[in-house]
Amino acid sequence: MGQAFRNCSIKISDAWPGIEEMNIDYCHDLVELPAELYDLVDMKMHSITNCHKLSALPEEIGQLENFEVLRLRSCTDLVRLLVSIENLTKLCCLDMYNFFGIKKLTEGIGNMSGLRKINMGQCSRLEEFPLSVWDLHEQLEEVICDEEKEHLWESFLARDKIKVAKEKTNLNWLEKP
């Protein structure tokens, strides 16, 4: 997949006009995504899973105003979310399961007014949240995290406002509210 993106002679938006969902799984040569991928303004769901060499997302991801679901599951070389992710105000589900390189969430995460569900299981290096997490306390419906990270959520979000649970074997929690 990585090689296909690098060697593509036509614009991605011309090849896939109107695409709403993209799943990329087990692409062992995918190191970076082309910025023009985020010219696909109709895209609502992006799932990138088990792409262990993927080290960064393009800053252009913030241009996808219609994004509803972003799954970055088991992309072990990713170490941070971009500041531009705060522009994804329609994003309702953020899955960062096994995103164990991340140490801190981006400051603008509190601007994500549509965010309802977050999966942060196996984010073992996560040490702190920005103050903007306070802005999510009324809208979040479910957070999935490991037991040892539960205290991070409790310090920003009251227990009665958010359900903290362990990782479930199914992905039904990703359904739109």
What distance in Å separates the CA atoms of residue 95 and residue 82, rounded to the nearest whole number? 15
The alpha carbon of 145 is separated from its chain's Cα centroid by a whole number of angstroms, namely 14
With residue 65 as reference, give the H or E element that holds it.
Answer: none
Region 95-99 average pLDDT: 90
Q: Is residue 176 a part of any domain in this protein?
A: no
Percent of residues, the chain, with pLDDT higher than 90: 23
Residue 15, classed as helix, strand or coil, is helix
Which residue matches tokens 């011309």? Answer: 14
For 40-62, what is each residue's pLDDT tens digit?
888 999 999 999 999 888 888 88
The alpha carbon of 62 is separated from its chain's Cα centroid by a whole number of angstroms, namely 11
What distance in Å separates the CA atoms of residue 8 and residue 79, rounded to the nearest whole number? 27
User: Which domain, by its residues, includes 106?
Assistant: 2-12+21-169
For position 147, what pLDDT does the model report?
A: 81
Q: Is residue 175 a part of any domain in this protein?
A: no
Number of domains into which the chain is organized: 1
Residue 164, Ramachandran bin (φ over 0: left; ψ between -120 and 50: alpha; else beta): beta
For position 155, what pLDDT does the model report?
A: 74
Mean pLDDT of the chain: 82
Does the pLDDT at position 75 exceed 80?
A: yes
Top-confidence residue, 94 or 12: 94
For position 23, what pLDDT does the model report?
A: 93
Q: Is residue 39 a part of any domain in this protein?
A: yes
Region 82-110 average pLDDT: 89
Does the pLDDT at position 161 exceed 70?
A: no
What distance in Å separates the CA atoms of residue 3 and residue 24, rounded to the nearest whole number? 13
Percent of residues, the chain, with pLDDT higher than 70: 84
Region 10-24 average pLDDT: 83
Q: Is residue 121 a part of any domain in this protein?
A: yes
Q: Is residue 177 a part of any domain in this protein?
A: no
Q: Residue 113 maps to which CATH number?
A: 3.80.10.10
For position 153, what pLDDT does the model report?
A: 82
For position 174, what pLDDT does the model report?
A: 55
Amino acid identity at 148:
E
pLDDT band at 162 (very low <50, low <70, confident <90, very high): low
Tokens at residue 63, please?
Answer: 């241009």
Query: Which residues neighbour 59 within 8 Å (Cβ) at sequence distance 6 or greater?
Result: 35, 82, 83, 84
